[in-house]
Structure formats: structure tokens, C-alpha cells
Amino acid sequence: MVSRPTSTPCREAVEYLVFEVDPAHREQFIAVDDQIWTSALRSQRGFVAKEVWVDENQPGQVTLITYWSSYALWKAIPSDELEAIDERFTQAFGHPFTLIEEGHKIHRWFRVHQTLSSEE
């Protein structure tokens, strides 16, 4: 295992969120998240990509993984702006949901290597 000095800035940061929603509203949750949250995040400096994962064994869970070019740029987004986006999302979705995990608050993931398929 290679240890990394804490003074070295992360090249890419990972935001990891898991939500619990009624399985009957899961697809709507994903669509509204894309419309509101993902659209807003795309315009932020440092946004790289976002993935949405679901587990067929837990149909009410939605995992959102967002990649940022740096932790500093991700955290530079003003909190009042994030609150406004969250309010728009909550109103547009219109159903209860619960944030059940914020993995990035426990871990400070960053990519050190990526291997892509050689298949076209």
C-alpha cells in the first residue's frame, strides 16, 4: 500500500451519495435529478462527470457518484446556490426521499489509475 502525503492536492475528487426512495418513484427521482441537479452541476467549474447506479437487490436505493477535477473546486460552490438547487429538486420531485449515505464525508477518494477496455 502506498501512502500519499496529505499536502499533495487531489487531482480528482469523488462525491458519493446514496438515497432511499419509494421504488415506484425511482425513475422519476433519477429523471428529476438529471434535469435539476446534473444540469446545475454541469455549469460548475471543476465538474467532470456524474454516474447514477441502482441495485436490483435494493430497488429503492439510488447511488449518485460525481467526479470533480479537484476537491477545492467542488467545495467552492456557494452553499446558498446548493440550497436553491436542492429546493428546486425537492419541489419538482414531490415525493419523500432520504439521504442515507454520504461516503465522501468518511472517505477522500481520488483516482490514481484508470484502465479502459481496449474494445472499440
CATH number at residue 68: 3.30.70.100
**Mean pLDDT across the stretch 6-34?**
86
If you search the block for the grid coordinates 452541476, which residue do you land on?
41
- Please give the C-alpha separations between residue 63 and each of 5, 7, 15, in angstroms, as whole numbers: 29, 30, 10
Predicted TM-score (pTM) of this structure: 0.82
Is-contact 66 41, C-beta < 8 A? Answer: yes
Domain carrying residue 20: 13-105
**How many separate domains does the chain show?**
1
Which 8-state DSSP code applies to residue 32? H
Q: Rounded distance, CA 76 to CA 68, Å? A: 11
- Please give the C-alpha separations between residue 94 and each of 19, 32, 37, 40, 62, in angstroms, as whole numbers: 15, 10, 15, 19, 16
Residues with Cβ within 8 Å of residue 45, at least 6 apart in sequence: 73, 76
pLDDT tens digits, one per residue of 39-82: 999 999 999 999 999 999 999 999 999 999 988 999 999 999 99
Residue 4 lies in a domain: no
Residue 8 lies in a domain: no
pLDDT at 91 over 80: yes
Residue 5 lies in a domain: no
